[in-house]
Amino acid sequence: KDWQIACVMTVALPVAGFAMANALSIVRDFSAAQFKVYAKAGGIAETGLQLIRTVTAFNGQRAVIKEYADQLDKAQHKGIRIGVVQGFSMGVTICVVGCAISIGMYAGSIWVLEGYERQCWEVSPPFGTCRTGGTMLSAMFTVLWGFTQGIGTLVVCIEALGHGKAAAKRLYDIIDEPISHSVLGQEPATCEGLIVYENVRFSYPGRQAAVALYNISMRVEPGKTAALVGSSGSGKSTIV
């Protein structure tokens, strides 16, 4: 008979749902940016390990470590923002719970007083059809228990949901990317075997700041043999 108080208390719940939906969207965007930063940091570490001899030859260990640490700092800042959004979402949820309790107590106290003014306990002693403080609290805590077990648990999972949506978005973007060229490739009409480099400049994706080739120019005629000679880390393998 106290379903009315449950309806009154649920008025505040859409606010929590709206706040959580916004928080999930923000966490998803921050998570996507964080994934990109971690991927870039991983690329720096992988390139540094693969080219460890080159890095050592040019005494670039400190530069690689600094570049890697800078990317981790960016990822940490993204993580802090995610934590702030999660905290705000949890705060809104707690505020909504407090508002729901206040609304329930206010409406319940009015209904209890109205029942006693009508002397409803005389219909069937000891309480009859009266709403009592016990029945009000029972209905209120039933609603709150369902809310905290459902929505409250979802708040804790916002970060995981955001990471999942961000990862899925990247995956679906790759799957949905249109293929603009033939899978068979292009076959040239003739092949002379002439190799020409003209002012080639190249940096590995994981280390854009470190230039592997700088204005390299060379020409190898068809049928000729050329040898690339240089110290370790000078770019011989990169040219090939």
DSSP string, 147-194: HHHHHHHHHHTHHHHHHHHHHHHHHHHHHH----S-TT----S-----
Q: Are 99 and 210 members of one domain? A: no
Mean pLDDT score across all residues of the chain? 75
Rounded-to-integer distance, Cα 3 and Cα 140, Å? 10
User: Which tens digits make up the pLDDT trace of 11-41?
Assistant: 777 777 777 777 777 777 777 788 788 888 8
| Number of structural domains found in the chain | 2
Is a pLDDT exceeding 80 seen at residue 65? yes
- Specify the residue for token string 């069937």: 124
**φ, ψ dihedrals at 239, nearest 5°:** -65, -40
Please tell me the predicted confidence (pLDDT) of residue 208: 64
Which of 131, 148, 176 is the last residue before a domain boundary? 176
20 domain residue, yes or no: yes
Judgement on whether residues 61 and 142 belong to the same structural domain of the protein = yes
- Taking a C-beta distance cutoff of 8 angstroms, is the pair 16, 151 a contact? yes
Say which amino acid occupies 229: V
Q: Which two tokens mark 190?
A: 């003739």
**Residues 52, 145 share a domain:** yes
Whether 74 maps to a domain, the answer reads: yes
Mean pLDDT for 190-202 is 80
Average pLDDT over residues 160-166: 70
